[in-house]
Structure 1
């Protein structure tokens, strides 16, 4: 088998497979390596925002995936006593949401990469990098070296490529919630509906997924990690009781398999480009999973990265390729920056801040802002377009009237919000 390629992609899941499809269709010689066998699962928020679904349609994978699960057109979003109902995701955003286990999604994308002409090798471990004249020039595997003009790390948050090139992390944030989820059958849920909530000290996500199963996620504070891991079922049941509406949906169901959890994760950005290499998807950046942005972000990143790679490799100009990859890395950071901090705020442990609750009440009461929230979650517009300074000021005044005895707490929350906004105005400039 040939071992000389234009691009070797380490990692064959949604980031690596979608990039392989584009590069192979553009005529590049592409090899995809993954240590896993397929189909297989990995921890994931499952949800693919409409922006990502539109890309799956462009790649020609949507019809196959939509046949595996109910496309999601409706949503219930609850933040304490603020409740928002959405209808018609396709009409509002151009596509529905999909919720798929990675065993289904990644296998379909990887098969599309094979059809496009990529050489896909599963159960293949990368143990090192090849270097020529100060550039990464391929990878080393137990089966032998694989030469390539560009190595792409699409191998997740614990990226082997990132480790081998010494990619430094920056803007790290520790986890504040632990995600605990189950698959169930026999639940009584309307088709095509997703529930998203933050009530008391718990976060929630629930929707139908592939294979006729129903996904239910409960997210307690990370400070309860030992307690949750000691008795996952008790923690899951306790969390569901905090949202009786969701508990009623789940109650008739029978759990399929074990309760799952991700006990350790973190948010970060990584240095994501260098001579002969680039990182994409979770290998280069990971945010709090609460808003379910990861899969759609990976698809958006590969959509932007593919033409840079094609142009640079077609021109056979290594310095120009490296410069293009650095520009892409800068775009990635600018694109992800505001959502990174918004996601962290959504996933913060503890009760919902009084000021946040008042903002959400006002969003819920305003049809225009409700649609704006949906567009923020779809990564169409930055969060600052939703929570504007005038809205924040009116929310503060309203919260002070609603809770006159908690004036000091509210003023502290407002000061923290302003300080964070100033600190997070723009991402650092890539070195």
Structure 2
């Protein structure tokens, strides 16, 4: 077989022609042939550059964003995108074969034969080639890769992602897609699938409204400014853990309630009970409910600033056991940003805010139970509504990949 190299193209008598030259010939040999007579071939190690041809489009408004659907083998499609979108993509959502061996539904979930001794390694090699291209496409400064999977390969996929994206932050979310449970032989019914989030650069989750479809245990305090206890709880609660945060807070009780008088300095001695309060005042120390010595969340100087700003407040008068609360930096930021406008101050100088317009938000956790991800409600029932006379096996929910 003789191979020819295309040197150029021309058009003559309405026909497209190509100028070709014989490769590796002792003497130069050139011809002009019709393009339809050419057969494109590639030698071993030659690069093959895939191309895309537009086959149609639907336009609603020139001023609106548009979607592009690429129909082809995903590996070649990803390669083609590297020529135009390398390092520019913000989000990639990958829905690979789950390698379960299932062949009885429209979306072929089988990649390697179930009895193949190398079925996991072959699947990983298949995934690695595509993930490496996805990494080239993602914006390293701010982007996220999302990969869905079930229990068959999630452990191996997690290790592969950690290997390929060592600079990224990764979390796995469990999303309930079938509350009734899909039957598994000799096993628990499967109710969820897993989503790996690989976050590059500045990419991070954002809070969502508590009024959304997310199912969360709503804290009744979530709709208002949240005051934290000044007495440290949890870990490092003993006096010896933060000795400089063991000091007295002097308060005075008036006809309209308790007020801050002053804040003492850190007390490093042993006989703290002998410290005298100003006349008419009591000293509140960071003593825990079991009588042991604890510590405050803030230093004495920080608490003085909080009191001046109105970011510290006193509870109901209980003498030396009167509770003290304060606003953490996040809550202070909400006040200073105008989310909670200040409308007044109490007798202890603590701020009073207007929370009537506040819409509470929360950061989703790693267990999702979202109605639109329900395979029956968002998949099967929706398909019946749109096409009542036809059945489709395992239709996916609108907002979730997998409905089995």
- Tell me if both proteins adopt one fold, taking TM over 0.5 as the criterion: no
* TM-score, normalization by structure 2: 0.19
Q: Which has the higher contact order (CA 8 A, sep 6+)?
A: 1
* TM-score, normalization by structure 1: 0.18
Larger Rg computed on CA atoms: 2
Higher helix share: 1
